[in-house]
Amino acid sequence: MMLHAGVCMVRQYCAFAGIAHGHNAREFFARLVERRIAMPYAAMHARARLYHIHHRRLYTAIGEPHSRFRKPLPAGRAME
């Protein structure tokens, strides 16, 4: 996800990780936002949210500390 635009939705993360979509996954993303690791964007669907993962330590962990996907992006660009 981080190497492909740096944005994801909770359901995409759950499918990737092989876990059930539910309360625990939503709480996980809420903690990412609280810790300023991710930034939420409202998506086209009323309840859906996109999350932009931008924390340097995460990108360093995958060997891409200066990835262009860490940079802030406009909400419209995130939804493309």
Contact indicator for 32, 51 with CB cutoff of 8 Å: yes
From the number of C-beta atoms within 10 Å of its C-beta (0-12, 13-18, 19+), residue 12 rates as: middle
Which H helix or E strand runs over 28? Answer: helix 23-34
pLDDT band at 32 (very low <50, low <70, confident <90, very high): very high
Contact indicator for 6, 67 with CB cutoff of 8 Å: yes
- pLDDT computed for residue 52 by the predictor: 85
- pLDDT computed for residue 66 by the predictor: 80
- Region 5-17: mean pLDDT is 85
Each residue's pLDDT tens digit, 41-70: 876 666 778 888 888 888 888 788 887 777
